[in-house]
Amino acid sequence: MLNKQKDSHSKNDLNANDRELFKQLFVNREDDYAYQKADGNYNRAKSPLTDDILFGDQTVGTYNLDRSSNVINACLDFDIDKKIHETKDSMSADEWDQWIQTVKQHTKSCFAYLQSLDIPCYPEFSGYKGYHIWFFLDKPMPAADVRRWIQHIRALLPAMPKDLALELFPKQDKISADGYGNFVKFPLQVNRKSGKCSYFLDEDFNPIVGLPEITRTGLVELPKLPEEPKKPRKAFKTYQGSSNPDLALEKLPVVIENCAYMQKLLKRIEEEQHLEHAERIWLANILKPFGNDIVHEYFSKLSDYDAEYTDQQLNSLGGLPSVCSSSPMCAVERCPLMQEIGKESPIAFAYRVLTHNEIDPRKPWVFFNAKAQRHHYLYDGEQYGIPKEELKTLYSNFGMKAPKRQKILFPKFDPHDPWHIDLMKRTINYFQPSEYMKLGRNDATLVPTKDFPTIWQLLGNVMPVEDEKNHFVNWLATIFNTKKKLRTSFVFKGAQGAGKNAMFEHILAPLFGRNQCRVVKNEDLEERFNPYMRGAFFLAFDEVAHDNKSRNRLNSKLKALITDDKVTLNDKNDKAYEIENRMNCVFFSNEAVPLVVEQSDRRFTVVRTGGNLATRDLFTGDKFFERIKAELLPFSQYLKNFPYDENQANTALDTSEKRNLAAAAMDRYEEFASKLKANDGEWLKGANDNFLYSPSFDDDLSGNIRRSEAKDLFKAIYGGEISTQALTKKLAVHGIECKKRNGEYIYVW
């Protein structure tokens, strides 16, 4: 609790005449004010400043500029630098007092200089850690004129000692009609943070009671400023201005993530709606390369935000980013991360991440692949391996100077990492979103038959069954929106010309990035090397496993590509290494049995395609593909807006083609056992229609059948002779047991 006893320096003790003078000297607008909280910060009251409030117990202040952007006073605010103040808790009382005395002595020197210029001014102790010098104007004057005058004064003053700071008021040239500009705390009040009262000082800097004898002033003519020699500028990249930001806005989070001081300032904006002037300048110099709009976005959250003044300040910035040494947190020692990258400003973090567009396609971009244990280089969108001894020749051929050290990077394929190259994390990401994948969701309602009829017709021919087409669209929309690898795949089987390859080449490949969509042939799968996996997001397996021998050999490899989280990349001349499996797969085949699919398999949705496009008057040559290309944008937006169901997309659809394919891949014992286990009496009876045998069971077997009846039924369906013992052994392999009940043998499952 603050001491409630009356202080002889308090404005509350002023007589009626001095109260009126106090209002004339300090109150330039009465429509609003701010009050100080116990932690020293201020909140805007959003209500008029009355005499009861002004001369009451609250610690209050008002805003320098009136609605016409005129001011009635100006002030020099001398203070301890923030980085020193933040160490106050570790100081002894004597050390803190010494800092206060340093501020006092410098303020006193400046006051003496101003007196030598015959400028009426009045020193004040702030009540905490600083001193003010006030100038009271003989009439309201434009803030812009007063600011130029007081900035001239600052340039004439004695040099500022290290670790002290100086702020000038007013801070704006003008404000908008509904703006506020900077806030100023009134003198002769208790500072809520220190518990001390502010007071005016005489010429010897001794406290005085109440107000001093005031002489108001105009803008006294000042001595000319000496010309300063031009200083060499640091080799930082300058920015272009708000109309042409130097850095993409998407890189701003990288700077924030890696700069603790910036995080602190942004947190204060959110929680306190206040920053000191020097803090604003530091932050603006970091934000400006991303465009003036982002500066306004953050600064508009400040309680005294003024758009026009902010623009003026931005225009006055020198075009160089703030450096670490100007941050109170980092002036003594840069953070370990800044030391590691060897830069002077946190803006450097924005240059440590690169998009695909920032790699010059006309020059080789060389790095050492830490997993492949070999040098690679990027050129014209492709990646090539190169022996170390040939690097010199490569650089020479392109007229480039070889770096002292090559960049060491770890390859990955991550659709959720926005950066192609991250020099801080030392990664190179092969994923590159297509332009269509960068679309955002919106409220547009798109009708397939109207907005992309050619694409919809093609999909309808590839998937004639409506439920199967809808399942595919949900599957596709899930991948398009989540950028995830799904655990399911589609098998499209049917005659040539139905549009399977056209769908992949002209729809899927452009949607997901042509360089990331690969067609894999049977011979590719047979090879030990699999470079097609690097940077692959979509794989189309075309006529793979076209005979029983290859089907059996490649079955496990194909299933692993659909379900495994990692796969081994094996490229010629490189060391084999594991990569994340982000590949979504489809299979195209004209074969009756393109691959082994079990009925219980959860990976495959099997679809029979429609007829040849030409016979259905859908295919009209090049114009057909031109229409598809023109419809890709609305189709992409349709997928973006689609209410996809990820669980459904990760569930294979039980289609009649899948059942047929599963049956084709079974031997007769597996098929017979599967129908028994499915209690599918209807199928068993139907399969026996051509035989002289009448089963006694119902359509639902209910988990058991007499052994003798099962044997007779098996012989009737498949023909030939089989012993009871042999049938029992074969069915046991598929989970059907033989048990004795009530003196009779039965099969149970």
What mean pLDDT do residues 670-693 have? Answer: 74
pLDDT at 235 over 80: no
pLDDT winner (highest mean) among 10-14, 162-166, 411-415? 411-415
Burial 539-550 (b: 16+ CB within 10 A, else e): bbbbebbeeeee
Three-state DSSP class for 55? coil
Q: Is 434 exposed, middle or buried (0-12, 13-18, 19+ CB in 10 A)?
A: buried
Burial 222-233 (b: 16+ CB within 10 A, else e): eeeeeeeeeeee
What tens digit of pLDDT does each residue of 150-209 get? Answer: 999 998 998 888 889 899 999 888 888 778 888 889 999 999 888 899 999 999 999 999
Which comes out higher in pLDDT, residue 619 or 451?
Answer: 451
132, 303, 730 from 77: Cα distances, Å: 5, 20, 96
Q: How far apart, in whole angstroms, are the C-alpha atoms of residue 319 and residue 305?
A: 22
In sequence order, which residues have a C-beta less than 8 Å from that of residue 298 and are 6 or more positions away? Answer: 266, 269, 283, 287
90, 247, 268, 295, 671 from 262: Cα distances, Å: 24, 17, 10, 13, 68
- The DSSP call for residue 304 is T
The yes-or-no answer to whether 11-200 and 448-659 have a common fold is: no
Q: How far apart, in whole angstroms, are the C-alpha atoms of residue 198 and residue 269?
A: 27
- For residue 557, which amino acid is it? K
pLDDT in the model for residue 618:
62
List the one residue out of 594, 655, 619, 641 whose CA is nearest residue 503: 619
Measured between its terminal Cα atoms, the distance across the chain in Å is 81
pLDDT in the model for residue 239:
54
List the one residue out of 662, 653, 603, 661 whose CA is nearest residue 469: 653
Q: Are 183 and 29 in contact (CB under 8 A)?
A: no
What tens digit of pLDDT does each residue of 598-656 get? Answer: 767 788 899 999 988 877 666 666 788 999 999 999 999 999 999 999 999 999 998 88
Name the pLDDT band for 423 (thresholds 50, 70, 90): very high
Looking at the chain, the whole-number percentage of residues with pLDDT higher than 70 is 91
- HSE-CB at 436 with a 13 A cutoff on CA atoms is 26
Q: Are 541 and 535 in contact (CB under 8 A)?
A: no
> What's CA 465's distance to the chain center, in Å?
40
Kindly indicate whether the domain formed by 448-659 is annotated with CATH number 3.40.50.300: yes
List the one residue out of 151, 199, 185 whose CA is nearest residue 36: 185
What tens digit of pLDDT does each residue of 108-155 get? Answer: 999 999 999 999 999 999 998 899 999 999 999 999 999 999 999 998
pLDDT in the model for residue 621:
67
- 97: enclosing H helix or E strand: helix 93-116
Helices (H) and strands (E) in the chain, counts: 26, 26
Q: Which residues pair with 519 in a beta bridge?
A: 540
Q: Are 490 and 538 in contact (CB under 8 A)?
A: no
421, 572, 723 from 385: Cα distances, Å: 17, 9, 63
pLDDT in the model for residue 231:
46
Q: Which two tokens stand for residue 671?
A: 């098929």
Name the pLDDT band for 474 (thresholds 50, 70, 90): very high
Q: Are 452 and 633 in contact (CB under 8 A)?
A: no
Instruction: Please state whether the peptide bond connecting residue 170 to the residue before it is cis, i.e. omega within 30 degrees of 0.
Output: yes
pTM for the structure as a whole = 0.59
Q: How far apart, in whole angstroms, are the C-alpha atoms of residue 439 and residue 147?
A: 47
**176-190, 262-276, 481-495: least confidently modelled range:** 176-190
List the one residue out of 419, 241, 389, 411 whose CA is nearest residue 316: 241
Q: Are 733 and 669 in contact (CB under 8 A)?
A: yes
- The DSSP call for residue 390 is G
* Domain residue ranges in the chain: 11-200, 249-351, 353-432, 448-659, 666-748
What tens digit of pLDDT does each residue of 526-537 get? Answer: 788 888 888 899
List the one residue out of 429, 251, 408, 282 whose CA is nearest residue 345: 282
Q: Are 308 and 179 in contact (CB under 8 A)?
A: yes
Q: How far apart, in whole angstroms, are the C-alpha atoms of residue 79 and residue 165?
A: 5
Residues in the chain: 749
pLDDT at 678 over 90: no
Q: Considering the domain 11-200, what is its CATH architecture?
A: Alpha-Beta Complex (3.90)
5, 602, 670, 703 from 735: Cα distances, Å: 93, 19, 10, 12
pLDDT at 552 over 60: no
